[in-house]
Amino acid sequence: MPNQLQPVSLTVTMPTIMAYADLTDDYNPIHVDREFAERTEMKGIIAHGTMSLNLIWQSLRKTLGTPAMAGARLDIRFVRPVRENDIVTGGGAERADTPGTYDVWVRNQKDEPVITGTATVAP
């Protein structure tokens, strides 16, 4: 049976987005200026893409441990934006036919995919 990754969730609040902006020095108004963001096609604040990507990393690390992450390969696609107040969860499962390769994903509270892809770690 495939090895399931331990899921990791995050509620994307405005304070989290602001902390992320500070840390990454990314103050793009689509992330931090609600009035601006509401006038764009996105019609509201969206979170930094790498905030969701971190959930996959955390899920892999919590399940497999830090040493397994050395040399890890990630092949992922950003398929849907994450909005303010979304609850996003990262997780995955090992492929039965390819040990060490995991289908990984981040999904929102509607179970819609946000990021999909694969991770390959040291055996």
Alpha-carbon separation of residue 47 from 38, 53, 106, 119 (angstroms): 14, 11, 13, 22
Among 3, 6, 54, 101, binds a second copy (CB under 8 A): 54
Q: Decide: is 66 part of the binding site for a second copy (CB under 8 A).
A: yes
Give whichever of 20 and 105 is closer to a second copy, judged by the CB atom: 20
Q: Which residues contact 32 (CB under 8 A, 6 or more apart)?
A: 17, 18, 21, 45
Footprint of a second copy (CB under 8 A): 16, 19-20, 22-26, 28, 30, 48-50, 53-54, 57-58, 61, 66, 69-79, 81, 117
